Structure 1
Amino acid sequence: MAPIPTPPAEPQDSPDTYVGLDSDAAERLARERGWSTVRSLAPGTVITMEYRVGRLNFEVKDGRVSRAWKG
């Protein structure tokens, strides 16, 4: 039987620290802190809710992060 893969570690980082930042600066900072995927979304965008380790989601309004969450 094949070994069970070990998922990559998720950065020890609070999504709340990105709220209020310029979206481009927030994305750069998130990648520097180790997030493998950063997704910027407009308010009300319909998305699937599957959880992905290492992904950080931003809701961006008027060029600023208004909400951020993992997965």
Structure 2
Amino acid sequence: MSSIPTPPAEPGDSPDAYVGLESGAAERLAYERGWSTVRSLPPGAIITMEYRVGRLNFEVKDGRVVRAWKG
């Protein structure tokens, strides 16, 4: 039987560090810090809830990140 693969490691920074940043700058910074996917969403967007390792989600209002979370 083959072993269970180990998921890739996520960057160690906190999603809270992106709150308040301009959305474009936050996205560039997230990629620089090693996030493989960055998703920017408007407030109240309907999204799927599957967890994706390496993805960082931003809720963006008026061009600024108001909420950020992993997955």
The answer for unaligned runs of 5 or more in structure 1 is: none
Gaps of 5+ in 2: none
Q: Please tell me whether residue 11 in structure 1 is matched to residue 11 in structure 2.
A: yes
Following the alignment from structure 1 to structure 2, what is the Cα–Cα distance between the partners of residues 51 and 29?
21
CA displacement at 1:2 relative to structure 2: 3.4
Aligned to 2:26, the other structure's residue is in SS state helix
TM-aligned CA deviation for residue 53 of structure 1: 0.8
Matched, 1:48 2:48: yes
Match of residue 66 from structure 1? 66
Structure 1 residue 5: Cα displacement:
1.8
CA RMSD of aligned residues (A): 0.8
Q: Aligned partners of 2:69 and 2:27: how far apart in 1?
A: 13
Secondary structure at the counterpart of residue 30 of structure 1: helix
Matches within 5 A, 1:14-33: 14-33=14-33
TM-score (norm 2): 0.94
1:9 and 1:65 map into 2 onto residues whose CA distance is: 24
Q: Distance in 2 between matches of 1:26 and 1:12?
A: 16
* Structure-2 separation of matches of 1:51 and 1:13: 18
Shift in Å, 1:4: 2.0
Q: Distance in 2 between matches of 1:69 and 1:6?
A: 22
